[in-house]
Chains A and B, each alone.
Chain A
């Protein structure tokens, strides 16, 4: 079975490359080019460049019929979800023979997924077909792909495909690679399911599957720190899942329907429970999204996972948290499209929005602050994921806060989801390549790699420029839109706090710039203390990275493409003010004087931060352990647990036993809250279990007297 494979794929017989055309790199590169051409044709078709070709094709009956039947296939979402699972099954059958064949199957399946998703576009433009499966899980499942779903689907499938191309080469050196691809496939199909879900229960189902499947990716290394990180990951995941489950129950109880449609009237009638519901949902999805107070799992889990997994964890999976918040907030808490935009309908989303904005601001601040202090490349990137999620959360907040004028925030958040998926996964891939070749993840020990790895250096630069928001790269576009959004939040409501939010936004962007100057300088430019010996060949790693880099540049150069093809169609279907969308978003130009000057200021400030940080060794400050968020939150409980032994045993508490000594620790480094709790439960057991068992007669007497007295009292009352 899959769990038994312990072998590494990189043995001579398995990866022999015979001839040019049977070379795996050549084949997969061709496949990448082909798939990207298809996506390119699709893009061109959507933009209306290929009218001649499409009318030529639709005139051929066979092609047209196939197209129509695939387009109207109501269970297409199921096909798409099962494709990766099918791939898992097939690859399980062939993995005995050859790792190459297995990986080619995985890559092929992911490219089919892209192809199949494209057929959903025409229906998505009109709001999507609903496909119901009644009765499953009691309340029934449903799928619907609208433009929001389609956008997520596109970015997910394209990125997953490219990362799978990358993963082939990367996993050759890792053990248990078959298990990795199996759980990658399950994770992929659950991610697709989450995106295409048509109601909250379906989202919850796939979300839970994703938590468990991706857990296997996080702990793939099977080392002590991956277990630690994984335990954290899965528990936070389960807690988040349960929060969503409570919300599902409450929502089903108050609204009576879980499908993503406006429920604001029913919610308003139910009173304050609506805030409980959205709070639980934000908490539950926020855990996956790496939102500030509950982000603690992320900087542990992402670095320990194998690089392809961390690229996808950071690129796609945390976005699903943001997607979830965006989805539930803009469906349940928004009025129906075309309904009147009078104030009362928007009051709820207004209140929710302002808190989400601040959650976003806090998240981005914490993320950047800790990112600047990291020395491990992947850890630093993980903290940047948190901070960039803060941007997205802020955008979502604006989208809710401004009511019918929130289109700018919505557009910015969604745009940033796309962009961040691209550049963060690219950055992780670069980090992976660096670790793959040098075996070193500490950036202070690296250096001068741009000569050895020119292509990686180039794509890293592109991604860094993207994430820093330099004009002509993709991050600039979305950051500018988000900036517009937060400025509007101030202008339309006149709350002074939003001005601070905007200032923080600028400073955080500068911090991001500083952090990536640092990364690029230490890894690629600086003269190394000891030069690394490596002679890389061109392989799949480079193909995948180059393709993502091209996408980044493409979006950076055509900022309006994503807006026109993906975002504006959905804005028009939302209850946003059409005049606002037409005036400010359709045909908007990001390369204006104001936006560019702000960018220049950000870059200058970022440069300064880097200069001073490097000069005065500010990047090496270690905060005392008691400033650790986890420590602060659990402090009261931990004190109580530490005292528990004395409470239970009095003076006889054997504090010297090995396990108990762990409990006495003040630091959280070696023992987390859960371990403490488990320890306390076992002490409790040792102390009281036998005693309770032996006091059977006592319990019986107490209970029977108690219940009889109770009933007597009840009767007398």
Chain B
């Protein structure tokens, strides 16, 4: 039974996406409740799966019991199941929020469409995580980018269309680059199953260097575009700032990370870090990671729109993860994984709290945040926590990321990277702190407003508070999750 869980989850998501139109005439709450039930069921199943994998080790699942060189194969290990669990948990939190605030800028009859897209998005995300096949990954990547582009353009505005057009063009180039790489590898190895390809790459690297190297270059570039790694970040700010808030949180907090995870799979399982480091790719990654950390923040400083600023901040934070990966050590990967988690939480908290501000006050410019904390104390407190986490202040999970990344770069004899980490933290402070100061201390209209929490729906407030608590929790007690990440990293290396 347990080995069927990945497939069951995929089926559940697809079914849910199909069911939504059937409830078109009913009260919309029925749809959202049903969606939540599906998510919770899958969540429970995934917990069972993770527990099983943790105790009994990884297993593969072959569709239709075909041999792995013809059939499709799912690989369930701590890496795929663990991150599936993390992403699903975060999505449930965001989903609960979105039931009250999916409406921002979306026409009423489009609500259902949004949820259809959301579940197809989940389907693709789970597929990418579980699959053990290069071509299959490509298929899911395509599904993911088509759904993403539809979500971005769901608000029928001009800037959404521009953003989604740019997104779809660039991402298509990325997908095709990836596909080209897969094709080149298929030429050499005759397989698309990751394990088989990896084995034959190891044995035939010296004979078919040109093919393999070109494949590496194209696949890296393709995934780099999709993960918004620094010079390819260009599509991200527009796309993420125009999308509906809850999906911005998903896109920035999770989807981008998903591509990073594919990249990790590719670098460490497919090619193996020996080949990657023989080609000095890790140095390229280190450089673009470091550049991204600095430049993302520099771009963010100049923004006037908060959501755009958050988008640029994501680019900088992706730089941290790439930096951790490029170290190629257990500690580096561990730090990168932890930052995937902590940035997911922090960015989701930031987007959701900004979303609440947009919902309640209808403003999204930085200068409109003056005195916001006196009107929305809880939301702004969570915003503040997450922003401090971005800067790297202790008691938040962002600090643990920074500490681990710093220790990892020392461990890999790249101590100078600490300076970049710190400078990036200072740059983060330069654009997050003024918002916080304005929100908490400056005030447009003085006056006793009494003791009341902001009047936004409870279902929006709860996810935001939960995210805030999680940020502090992982800032205080990171060790358990870090030891898990260590196990994952050891397997990969």
Contacts and interface: CB of A to CB of B under 8 A. Distances in A.
Nearest to B278: A714
Contact of B225 (A235, A241, A700, A714): A700
B4 to A, nearest CB: 37
A235 B429 contact: yes
B394 A699 contact: no
B217 A711 contact: yes
Interface stretch (B83-91, B345-353, B406-414, B457-465): B406-414
A252 interface: yes
Contacts of B237: 693
A436 interface: no
Nearest to A685: B302
* Prevailing SS type, chain A contact patch: helix
Contacts of A699: 231-232, 234
B476 A678 contact: no
Nearest to A253: B410
Contacts of A242: 392, 422, 425-426
Contacts of B451: 1, 4
B272 interface: no
A209 B399 CA distance: 13
Interface string A664-704: 00000000001001100111111001001101100110011
B214 A693 contact: no
A238 B231 contact: no
A695 B450 CA distance: 52
Interface residues of A, number: 59
A248 B214 CA distance: 42
Contacts of A689: 299, 302
* Prevailing SS type, chain B contact patch: helix
A245 B410 CA distance: 13
B395 A205 contact: yes
Given A4-B374, A137-B476, A708-B213, A693 B395 contact: no
Nearest to B221: A704
B441 A137 contact: no
Contacts of B395: 137, 205, 209
B42 interface: no
A704 B218 contact: yes
B447 to A, nearest CB: 6
A136 B476 contact: yes
A678 B430 contact: yes
B175 interface: no
A241 B426 CA distance: 11
Contacts of A138: 400, 403-404, 478-479, 482
Q: Which of A3, A235, A246 has the most CB of B within 10 A?
A: A3
B378 to A, nearest CB: 9
Nearest to A693: B234
Contacts of B374: 3-4
A514 to B, nearest CB: 39
B229 to A, nearest CB: 10
Contacts of B169: 696
Given A7-B448, A138-B482, A699-B232, A246 B437 contact: no
A434 B476 CA distance: 45
Contact of B440 (A3, A239, A696, A704): A3
B299 A685 contact: yes
Given A692-B234, A696-B234, A6 B447 contact: yes
Nearest to B232: A699
B422 A137 contact: no
B209 interface: yes
B279 A711 contact: yes
Nearest to B279: A711
A359 to B, nearest CB: 22
B240 interface: no
Contacts of A246: 406, 418-419, 422
B300 to A, nearest CB: 9
Interface in B279-317: 279-281, 284, 298-299, 301-303
Contact of B477 (A6, A136, A227, A252): A136
Interface in B191-218: 209, 213-214, 216-218
A526 interface: no
A227 B442 CA distance: 9
A250 interface: yes
B377 interface: yes
Contact of B231 (A703, A711, A712): A703
Interface string A55-71: 00000000000000000
A712 to B, nearest CB: 7
B402 A245 contact: yes
27 contacts: A4-B449, A4-B451, A6-B448, A137-B394, A137-B400, A137-B476, A138-B403, A138-B404, A138-B478, A219-B441, A227-B437, A245-B406, A246-B406, A253-B407, A678-B301, A678-B302, A685-B302, A692-B234, A693-B166, A693-B234, A693-B235, A696-B170, A700-B232, A704-B221, A708-B217, A711-B213, A714-B278
For the complex of A and B, the 3 pairs showing the least CB-CB separation, nearest first, are: A685-B302, A682-B302, A681-B301
